[in-house]
Amino acid sequence: MSTQWVAIQMQVNGERREVRVPPMKRLLDVLREDLHLTGTKEGCGEGECGSCSVQMNGELVNSCLVPVLQAADTAIETVEGLAHDGKLNPLQEAFLRCGGAQCGICTPGMLMAATHLLERNPQPSVAEIREGLAGNLCRCTGFIRIFESVVAAAAESRTREAPHAG
């Protein structure tokens, strides 16, 4: 028995998109298969590794655990929306400079989690960074240079925002 497919509208990285899919299809699969945005990855399918992290209406979610019906009429942000006109954003630049990405498979989710953190807490302590990224597993880096990348991005934004401050 095949379920009735539904039309779902979402805003994805600022663009209106519409798909026709089973309501229970995972948001992760809709992004990758229907919208061809393969930047978001599946590492575990159980909400443990965070490789599938995206922002949904400004909240960080594991897209492998979101049935697309519940993402209807929401604004989704994925890794593909971070760079502007092909230029890396400051967080991405920091990751590149500090070695925050090795094999790169956790990187999209890690960048979304870091983006979410910095949007709420522009100058996080290392403890706050650890907590903010605790749901994103990285097997390559041991996390150290990921923390450094986020610290560097935060420092850079502080300089940009207050260039004349002491």
Partner 1 sequence: MRGNADAQELIAPGSLDAVLNLMANEPGTWTPIAGGTELMVAHAAGNLGAKKLVSLWGIKDLRHVEAQKASVTIGAGATFMDLRQTRVIGEDFPLLSTAASWIGSIANQSRATLGGNLVNGSPAADSSPALFAYDAEVELISVRGRRRIAYAEFHTGYKQNKLAADELLFAIHLPRRFGGHKQYLRKVGTRRAMAIAKVALGATVRIEGGAMREVRLGAASLAPFPTRLYRTEAALEGRALTAETICQARQALLEEARPIDDIRSTAEYRKRVAANLLEEFLRECRTGVEER
Partner 2 sequence: MNTPAKTRIVGAPVARKEGVDKLTGRARYVDDMEREGMWYGATVRSTIPRGLIRSILFDRTVDWSEFAIVTAADVPGKNQIQMIVADQPCLADGMVNHCDEAILLLAHADKTKVRAAVDAVRVEYDPLPPVLTIEESERQKTVVWGKNNLLKSFLVKKGDVNGAWSRAAHVVEGEYRTGAQEHLYIENNGVIAECDAERGVTLWGSLQCPFYVHKSLMSVFDLPAEKVRVIQTETGGAFGGKEDYPSVIGSHAALLAMKSGHPVKMVYDRMEDLAATTKRHPSRVRHKTALDGEGRLLAMEIEVVTDGGAYSTLSSTVLSRATLHATGPYLCPNVRIRSRSWATNTVPYGAFRGFGAPQAIFAVERHMDEIAAAIGMDPVELRRRNFLRGGDTTATGQVMREPVILDRLLESALKESDYYAKRERFARENECSAVKRGMGISAFFHGSGFTGSGERYLNSLAGVDVTREGEVRVLVSSTEFGQGTNTVLTQIAAETLGIEYARLTMAPPDTKIVPNSGPTVASRTAMVVGRLIERASRQLLDVLRKDAGLGEQFSGEEFFAACERLRAKKGEVVSLCRYEAPPGIYWDDATYQGEAYPAFAWAVQVAQVAVDTTTYSAEVEEFWAVQEVGRVLHPVLAGGQIEGGVAQGIGYALYEKVQLANGHMANNQMTNYIMPTAEDVPPIHVYFEEMPYAHGGYGAKGLGELPHDGPAPAILNAIRDATGVSFHAIPLLPENLFERMAEKEPVAEGAAV
Binding footprint of partner 2 on the chain (CB under 8 A): 32, 37-46, 48-49, 51, 78-80, 82-83, 88, 92, 95-99, 101-108, 111, 129-131, 133-147
Binding to partner 1, residues 139-158 (CB under 8 A): none
Among partner 1, partner 2, none, the one that 64 touches (CB under a kind-dependent 5 to 8 A) is: partner 1
Per CB under 8 A, 43 contacts partner 1: no
Per CB under 8 A, 26 contacts partner 1: yes
The single residue listed with the structure tokens 């097997």 is 139
102-139: string of b/e by CB count within 10 Å (b at 16+)? eeebbbbbbbbbbbbbbeeeeebeeeebeebbebbbbe
Q: Which two tokens stand for residue 151?
A: 């610290």
Length in residues, the chain: 166
Per CB under 8 A, 119 contacts partner 1: no
Among partner 1, partner 2, none, the one that 43 touches (CB under a kind-dependent 5 to 8 A) is: partner 2
- Residue 19 near residue 8 (C-beta atoms within 8 A): yes
Q: Which of 16, 42, 10, 17 shows the shortest CA–CA distance to 28?
A: 42
Q: Which of 2, 16, 163, 165 binds partner 1 (CB under 8 A)?
A: 2
Closest distance to partner 2 from the beta carbon of 118 (Å): 15
Q: Which of 159, 154, 153 shows the shortest CA–CA distance to 88?
A: 153
Q: Which two tokens stand for residue 123?
A: 């100058």
Among partner 2, partner 1, none, the one that 60 touches (CB under a kind-dependent 5 to 8 A) is: partner 1
Q: Which residues bind partner 1 (CB under 8 A)?
A: 1-4, 21-26, 29, 42, 45-48, 50, 53, 59-62, 64-67, 69-70, 72, 113, 116-117, 131-132, 134-136
